[in-house]
Structure 1
Amino acid sequence: MQPTGGTTVLSRGQWLKLVRVLGMLGSDHAGERAAAALAAHRLVRGWGTDWAALLAPRRMSEAERRRPRGPFHDAFHDPAAAAQSRLRQMAAEVARLEAEVKRLKRLLDARHQRG
């Protein structure tokens, strides 16, 4: 963590940890929300800062201002892993549907032979 002119800049690891904890504030369970708030407070205090310093606007250096801005990057989304997960889901769905088609064909064949 680096203090910069009255503000606090978290390391990437600290930022990720705080984001994960703060994400739990949206829980449907009051106890989880309270635990998340307390955990966030303890993290900030443990880093030797406070919410005012952490949330204060930070002045960007000249180099940061000149750096080209690319598309937003979501630190919690890995497109390749998401695609692989979706492919596994779809493969399982295809296998389930193929099994269902075979079962229905057997039923139709059985009815056709009886009737």
Structure 2
Amino acid sequence: MTNSSTGQVAAQPEGMQSIVADWSSDQRAFKNVSWGKAMMWIFLLSDTFIFSCFLLSYMTVRMSTTIPWPNSSEIFALSFGGEPIPLILIAIMTFILITSSGTMVLAVNYGYRKDR
């Protein structure tokens, strides 16, 4: 590094300080990126890694067991009038999830309009 006013070479920091100085001096790569955008990308990457770890660990446990897994349509079945209805619990949970997403969209819309 040279000092532009005097033309002399600046002294390089030693050890960990040199690593920090080297990494923190890179202004070109992220100069025009807003803080919120950079943090959103960090969140998306960390979320991807976490869910990948969950799925890999589930796959590892499921493939390593010698006992057969139960049938999912029997586990998630609800009985109405003594007759089991397969996967009705999953359908109910999906309906609740979609409905809550719709109410969240309405809340954000009213928030932007500052309408209570």
Give me the TM-score of the superposition, normalised by structure 1.
0.30
Give me the TM-score of the superposition, normalised by structure 2.
0.30
Bigger helix share? 1
Structure with the bigger RCO (C-alpha within 8 Å, sep 6+) is 1
